[in-house]
């Protein structure tokens, strides 16, 4: 039995180094390819349109993303909590309050790390619920260190 579409509690938005902005829509569809999710628009692509991936199979995000935010929405579609990462210096924000989880080394080149982990719950072959974790942070592409991330429930 196919799973129901997941209702997203957080939608992302980002600002690029040229000042332009991009926001995920409620239907989570790419503006470039309607068969793909909105995240496709933030990835690097080969000439044939396929997303470029790293050695672990994760999509490589564009290197011109400066600021990335997850904006929560309540059931009435009013703005809720906002979680962000500033890739210029590596600080995180919760509702506009900045803090560092880890201070990146001098000269670090920070790239966005973002993914959703979905857990679906079944009973008797029928889906009875689902939950989504949002993971976001940064990775210094010049070091072999693991990404620095926040996990949002």
Contact indicator for 66, 88 with CB cutoff of 8 Å? yes
Tens of pLDDT along 68-123?
999 987 665 556 889 999 999 999 999 999 999 999 998 899 999 998 888 888 88
Listed in sequence order, the residues at least 6 apart from 112 whose beta carbon sits closer than 8 Å to its beta carbon are 14, 42, 61, 65, 68, 85, 87, 136, 137, 138
Q: Give the CA-trace dihedral at 56, 42, 17, 68, to 10 degrees.
A: -80
**pTM for the whole thing?**
0.85
Residues 6+ away with beta carbon under 8 Å from 107: 142
Alpha-carbon span 84 to 69, nearest angstrom = 4
């Amino acid at each position: 039995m196919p799973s129901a579409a997941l209702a997203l509690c957080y939608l992302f938005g980002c600002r690029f180094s040229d000042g332009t902005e991009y926001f995920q829509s409620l239907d989570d569809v790419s503006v470039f390819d309607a068969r793909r999710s909105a995240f496709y628009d933030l990835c690097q692509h080969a000439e044939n349109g396929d997303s470029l991936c790293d050695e672990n199979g994760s999509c490589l995000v564009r290197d011109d993303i400066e600021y990335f935010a997850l904006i929560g929405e309540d059931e009435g579609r009013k703005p809720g909590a906002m979680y962000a990462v500033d890739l210029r210096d590596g600080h995180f924000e919760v509702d506009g309050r900045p803090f560092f989880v880890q201070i990146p080394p001098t000269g670090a080149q920070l790239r966005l790390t973002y993914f959703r982990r979905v857990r679906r719950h079944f009973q008797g072959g029928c889906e009875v619920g689902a939950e989504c974790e949002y993971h976001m942070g940064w990775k210094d592409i010049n070091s072999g260190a693991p990404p620095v991330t926040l996990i949002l429930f």
